[in-house]
Amino acid sequence: MTIQLNPLASTEQKNLCDTKWGYGRVHQDARKKFTRSASMVFGDLNNERVEKFKIFTEDECAEFRRRIDAGEDILADRDETLKIMERVFNPELDARLIAFFNSEYVPEGVQVEKVLPTETPHHSDCWHCDGGPNKQVVMIIYLSPSEADGANTVFADPTNTEYLKALGYLFCPIEARVDDLTPLYDHYGLAPFEENAIDLAAGDAVVFQAANIMHKRSLPKIGPRYVLVVCVLPSPLPWREACEVKARPFKIGDQDTFNQIPEDQLP
């Protein structure tokens, strides 16, 4: 397969989401209204664009897995979803998120995923950066441990991500994503980049700058992979208040994750 390249794709993405759809304006407003800069703590989420955090205990994960296996939708009840968010945004993660956004934040969308080793790979299993606002954080909270060679999220480093952005691979149409970039690297005479996957226990989250670090899902080989995904965006209001005002988080899959923000909702 020929790899499609469009060097304008990342600029077009920014123009669409951050400028035309209004996400950039919301972030600017959020930064202006931010008052907790004394609590910011910088770390790998800023520098390496990826960081691991402990969120749930093994017992909590076992209970989530039991309910998912029983066919229960653990995000069906809004009050319970907000209680789960209380556990997710612990003080350590909060300090890092406000440092990254330089503002308050809101859980925009949530999703539970159970994936079996027999699953057919799709576009998430190919190298990509997430479309949508440039300033977004995705948390993938593992409710089951990663495997030595699977059931994980695999990352490139910031340098190679920027290289592939400049080359025009990233933000191409979803159908044009590939799971192996070796032919492209060979074509340019470059050594292949290192693929980084973090060892994860049940309850650990990989938290990353989804639009700015290239990644792909790796399917499990041994047992099911259970995750809770939370997409986080900057917000002028602290997250509990923002959830009330904006009816967040929504369930990813029920609607498009990102849309044009209506003019009357823009700052």
What's the closest the beta carbon of residue 150 comes to Fe ion, in angstroms? 17
173 or 267, CB closer to Fe ion?
A: 173
> CA 167 to CA 170: how far, in whole Å?
8
What's the closest the beta carbon of residue 47 comes to Fe ion, in angstroms? 20
36 or 122, CB closer to Fe ion?
A: 122
151 or 242, CB closer to Fe ion?
A: 151
Binding residues for Fe ion, total number by CB under 5 A: 1
Residue list 238-267, contact with Fe ion (CB under 5 A) = none
Count of CB atoms situated within 10 Å of the CB of 39 = 11
31 or 251, CB closer to Fe ion?
A: 251
What's the closest the beta carbon of residue 259 comes to Fe ion, in angstroms? 18
> CA 149 to CA 146: how far, in whole Å?
8
> CA 240 to CA 86: how far, in whole Å?
9
Residue list 104-133, contact with Fe ion (CB under 5 A) = 130
- CA dist 26 to 42, 109, 144, 200, Å? 22, 17, 35, 33
Residue type, 161: T
94 or 130, CB closer to Fe ion?
A: 130
User: Of all residues in this chain, which one has the CB nearest to Fe ion in the complex?
Assistant: 130
What's the closest the beta carbon of residue 149 comes to Fe ion, in angstroms? 20
51 or 104, CB closer to Fe ion?
A: 51
Q: Pairing state of beta strands 250-251 and 104-115?
A: parallel
What's the closest the beta carbon of residue 138 comes to Fe ion, in angstroms? 6
Residue list 206-245, contact with Fe ion (CB under 5 A) = none
Question: Are the C-beta atoms of 115 and 224 separated by less than 8 Å?
Answer: yes
Residue list 130-159, contact with Fe ion (CB under 5 A) = 130
> CA 250 to CA 248: how far, in whole Å?
5
For residue 220, whether the previous peptide bond is cis, meaning omega lies within 30 degrees of 0, is no
> CA 170 to CA 131: how far, in whole Å?
9
Contact flag: residue 171 with Fe ion (CB under 5 A): no
What's the closest the beta carbon of residue 183 comes to Fe ion, in angstroms? 22
- 17 by DSSP, 3-state: which? helix
Rounded to 5 degrees, what angle do the CA atoms 201, 251, 39 make? 60
User: Which chain residues interact with Fe ion by CB under 5 A?
Assistant: 130
